[in-house]
């Protein structure tokens, strides 16, 4: 259990948050990372092959 606590120390949560200021846009780095991950997930969902895609063709 103790080593799990030391792992948590890798992410300092006692500081002020980090923010991106870009003109009228003002957002936290955490939210920015989530938005980037959503965009990457969206692109991956469009291009990664779906398993079993050819199953129906084979059975025909």
* CA pair distance 8, 1, nearest whole angstrom: 11
- Minimum CB separation of residue 20 from another protein in Å reads 19
- Give the H or E element holding residue 48: none
Residues that bind another protein (CB under 8 A): 34, 37-38, 41-42, 44-46, 48, 50, 52-53, 56
- Cβ distance to another protein smaller for residue 24 or 45: 45
Can you read off the two tokens belonging to residue 12? 């300092």
- Minimum CB separation of residue 36 from another protein in Å reads 12
**Using an 8 Å Cβ cutoff, are 37 and 29 in contact?**
no
């Amino acid at each position: 259990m103790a080593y799990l606590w030391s792992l948590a120390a890798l992410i300092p949560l006692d500081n002020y948050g980090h923010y991106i200021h870009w003109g009228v846009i003002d957002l936290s780095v955490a939210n920015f990372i989530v938005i980037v991950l959503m965009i990457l997930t969206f692109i991956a969902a469009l291009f990664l092959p779906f398993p079993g895609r050819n199953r129906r063709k084979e059975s025909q």
